[in-house]
Amino acid sequence: MSPGVFLDTTNDMRINTEEMFAPLAAVIRVDGYDEALATVNGTRFGLTSGIVTKSLARAAHFRRHARTGCVMVNLATAGTDYHVPFGGRGDSSHGPREQGSHAVEFYTTVKTAYLSAGPPDWRNGMLTYTHRQSNKVARMRIDNLQYANWSEAIFRQMNEGGVHAVHATIAYHENFRETVAVIERWNRWFERCPELIFPGRFAADVDAAVASGRTAIFFGAQNPSPIEDDIGLVEILHALGVRFMQLSYNNQSLLATGCYEAEDPGITRMGREVIAEMNRVGMVVDMSHSADRSTIEAAELSTRPITITHANPHDWAPARRNKRERVIEAVTGSGGMLGFSLYPHHLKGGSACTLESFCGMVARAAERYGTERLGLGSDLCQDQPDSVVEWMRTGRWTKAIDHGEGSKDAPGFPPMPAWFADNTDFGHIEDGLRATGMDEGEVAGIMGGNWYRFYAENFTPRTSGEKS
């Protein structure tokens, strides 16, 4: 049979009231969304339906109210998938629903929905989504390190600032059980604010955040203390959603040396084993607070790229926590990432650092290390009391006061630069990077596209046959 199209049909015509499997299409003209939905539901069949729209609210409404077994949103076809239980709704359904693994569906309705934010498009190592209906490009914003005093107000600022993913610190000196308690508290936030945030596990969750206008929260530890002295806890923490773990904070750990130690003997015996286990399960090695030799050795030992999630070049701002050229080269040269910090102690001029100075530093780093290896890790500690920075610096390892990057005269959190106070200010950085002469692809990569690519390549466990 030759393909054919029937124009100006109605729901009561025979072609729309009998089920057939033929290369035929019938077109029904409608006057708006409400009539279109009524037309979809005004038939005894209910196998599959689809809608093309730029409105997420309308897509969600259609997904909920279309009485079909399968719903497609912004896809090229309204075709079905054979895995959908019972085929569909109405006369398109088949099989006794009270039997088999789907017996519970006798009293409920199964609906499979497919939603696309547009076709993926890689440019300069950056993933964008170009909608068919317009020339607009929706770019991702990812901040790969924050430790705020979390609140609904902060989550709303993330939403307002278009931040699609945040790597949130859940441990500084906490042991395993204390870290699990922090995850429990995050679960309460996910329950209370589902319209704003949700747990991130893989790169696809960033896609979901872009599509739904929310923020995916990825967990990380700034110290290996959550694994205590048990390498088996690495896999358990990954299963709980932890995707980054530093091999040390400021002090020597069981795995590596912190940047405040006088001597750096490098990665320990346990550290080598833990790196291999992190590589296996898909947990990223983070060396933000580690000393130089330990960081370089970690980059050499790891069979997957590692990160410095929040620091800046030492030659721009010679803070103890910032990284020397050879260290950054070791990390980025092996496929790893550097996230630029906005914490004032890491900035040239501290709290008085200008946007022009910061973005100029990023531009020079892009020339030296490659734009595709750079992103943001703001280290934003918004609304935290000064008692928290004391915990970060001293934990339980000393009874004395350790001022770390601060001082006796200024022991608390320093004020943020005027151009970056919270999650609504990422647009200032984006504009500042453009002002340096970077093209749109480079800017979008640093604002989130590069981290997205890194997530996609490094969060999944290795298969048994994959080479280490």
449/447 Cα distance (integer angstroms) = 6
Give the start-to-end residue ranges of the domains of the chain: 31-115, 137-458
Would you give per-residue pLDDT tens digits along the chain (468 residues)? 788 888 989 888 888 888 777 888 889 998 887 788 888 888 877 778 888 886 766 777 787 778 887 888 887 666 655 455 555 667 766 555 444 444 444 445 555 665 554 444 443 334 443 333 333 334 799 999 999 999 999 999 999 999 999 999 999 999 999 999 999 999 999 999 999 999 999 999 999 999 999 999 999 999 999 999 999 999 999 999 999 999 999 999 999 999 999 999 999 999 999 999 999 999 999 999 999 999 999 999 999 999 999 999 999 999 999 999 999 999 999 999 999 999 999 999 999 999 999 999 999 999 999 999 999 999 999 998 887 778 777 888 888 877 677 677 776 678 999 999 999 999 999 999 999 999 999 999 999 999 999 999 999 998 765 655
CA dihedral 205, 170, 443, 452 (to 10 degrees): -30
CA 113 → CA 45, 50, 86, 182, 379, distances in Å?
A: 17, 9, 15, 33, 37
Is the distance from CB of 87 to CB of 69 less than 8 angstroms? Answer: yes
8-state DSSP, 201: -
Q: Does the predicted TM-score (pTM) go above 0.75?
A: no
Fold of 137-458: TIM Barrel (3.20.20)
Q: Residue 325: beta bridge partners?
A: none
400/201 Cα distance (integer angstroms) = 38
8-state DSSP, 347: S
**Nearest Cα to Cα of residue 145 among 221, 256, 235:** 221
415/351 Cα distance (integer angstroms) = 6
**Nearest Cα to Cα of residue 215 among 193, 187, 196:** 196
CA dihedral 452, 455, 457, 461 (to 10 degrees): -160
